[in-house]
Amino acid sequence: MTRSTLPTRSTLPTRSTLSRLATLVLALVMFALALTACTAAHAEGPTAAECAKIFGYEPASDGPAGVLVYDASRSRPGGGLAAEAATLIRDLSERKGSLSVLLVDGEGAKPQWILSGAGLNRDDVGVDTAVHRTAVSRSVPCVERELAGVAPTAPGTDLAEAMRAAAEAGTTSGATHYVIETDGFANTGALNLVDRVNEASVADVVAGLTAAGWDPRFEGASVAFTGIARTYGEVVAPVHAAWLRSLYQALCERSGAATCAVPVADQAVAAGGESERSGAPADAGLALAAIDTHTTDAGRTVVVPGSLLFGPDSAVLAAEADATLVEVAECVRQGATVTVVGHAAPDPAARAGWADELARARADAASARLVELARGDAGSGTDGITGGSAERVSAEGRGDTQPLPGGSAAENRRVEFVIVGGC
């Protein structure tokens, strides 16, 4: 006879045991629901009350201080704070420091202090406490919340005034780190760059600012300009972006900063997307000359701004020039005849003959490189033709004798490629 495996009365769960199990299961369910709600709340971001509490903390007496200058103009694309700004804010919170945030408003309006010496963590808690960790995790989204809640009231960006104000406030608070978030296009004030992007030397622009008395000082501090040339509404050519980065690097070094960083921004945001400031007043145009192509009876003419091919007052082709010339070179490879015509802008201050010389030298340089690209020479990476291209490419210089009706100086400094046949 086999032994029965049925549970005996003594092995069956009692009513009290079942009750305890039910209570435990209910507690686990309630904990899971609370955890889910907490996670959802964190996913939605901090509330105004939570942020007000964090910004009301008293920073450590020996804690670091930082300043964030935020360009809130409509030309800025969306996407939240740059990595450099977020890193600064989290670091200040970790070290129980303080932050000041200056929002750059538009033309005729002074920059607005959104935060002034705000504590980002409690001085009287340990670094491993829940309060400390929560403040660190909420510091960046709370700053973003503050910025999102204030809309610019006027178009334009007086970045020069904002930098001056930030430097003065930083000196008072003992700031050691500055992050300046901007696309770099200041349409008002001392840094008005209309018709100047890669049309004037960086040294001349800096010298002009010195003469105007614009002299922010970031003595001994760490300074980073983020987002330079990353804008909403226009794609900035690489040569223009490089000039802008060089300008802000020079301005930073001139300020007495201990370290300067102007990181390369992500791909510019073209028109058609959404700007995080789409409801703000429209900014003035960036005044960057663009390539223009129009059809003629004989073929077509490609008009290229001189600033896309050359540095200021120079006939030496920029490293980025090939990106523009390669398409015309393809026409030469297909049998087209191309006349390269250099133009200059009228300049009463220039010596006699300077415009003619520069226009012809630029046409010669562009035509020579065009032939190289068509043949596949000089590391162009193309399988070019073996001969005949030089005979089908010619150069002319017309100086400042043919200005464009109503054209700016930047638009008149141009190189035209008159293409007949081929592509």
Q: What is the DSSP string of 194-260?
A: TTTTTTS-HHHHHHHHHHTT-----TT-EEEEESTT--BSSPPPHHHHHHHHHHHHHHHHHTT-SEE
Can you list the pairs that 286-295 forms with residues at least 24 positions away whose Cβ atoms lie under 8 Å? 286/75, 286/185, 286/231, 286/233, 286/234, 286/236, 287/193, 287/194, 287/195, 287/197, 287/408, 287/410, 288/197, 288/234, 288/236, 288/237, 288/240, 289/408, 289/410, 289/411, 289/414, 291/324
pLDDT band at 257 (very low <50, low <70, confident <90, very high): very high
**Residue 301 pLDDT greater than 50, yes or no:** yes
Higher per-residue pLDDT: 314 or 28: 314
Phi, psi of 100 (to 5 degrees): -115, 140
**Residue 350 pLDDT greater than 80, yes or no:** yes
Token digits of residue 272: 């058609």
**Residue 361 pLDDT greater than 70, yes or no:** yes
pLDDT band at 111 (very low <50, low <70, confident <90, very high): confident
Higher per-residue pLDDT: 230 or 33: 230
pLDDT band at 41 (very low <50, low <70, confident <90, very high): very low
Residue carrying the six token digits 């978030």: 181
Higher per-residue pLDDT: 39 or 50: 50
For domain 48-261, the question of CATH label 3.10.50 is answered with no
Residue carrying the six token digits 């429209």: 282
Residue-level pLDDT at 217: 93
Beta 414-420 vs 65-71: how paired, if at all?
Answer: unpaired
Higher per-residue pLDDT: 417 or 31: 417
Q: Where are the domains of the chain?
A: 48-261, 292-420
Rounded Cα gap, residues 207 and 348, in angstroms:
21
Token digits of residue 15: 């009513």
**Residue 391 pLDDT greater than 50, yes or no:** yes
Rounded Cα gap, residues 362 and 358, in angstroms:
6
Mean pLDDT of the chain: 83
Give the mean model confidence (pLDDT) for residues 311-317: 93
Phi, psi of 300 (to 5 degrees): -150, 160
pLDDT band at 383 (very low <50, low <70, confident <90, very high): very low
Burial class (CB in 10 A: 0-12, 13-18, 19+), 300: middle
**Residue 272 pLDDT greater than 70, yes or no:** no
For domain 292-420, the question of CATH label 3.30.1330.60 is answered with yes
**Residue 338 pLDDT greater than 90, yes or no:** yes
Give the mean model confidence (pLDDT) for residues 289-295: 87
Residue-level pLDDT at 382: 45
> pLDDT (tens digit, 9 = 90+) per residue, 166-199?
999 999 999 999 999 988 887 788 888 888 889 8
Residue-level pLDDT at 214: 86
* Least confident residue range of 199-208, 226-235, 252-261, 355-364: 226-235
> pLDDT (tens digit, 9 = 90+) per residue, 21-40?
556 656 565 555 555 544 44
Residue 84, amino acid:
E
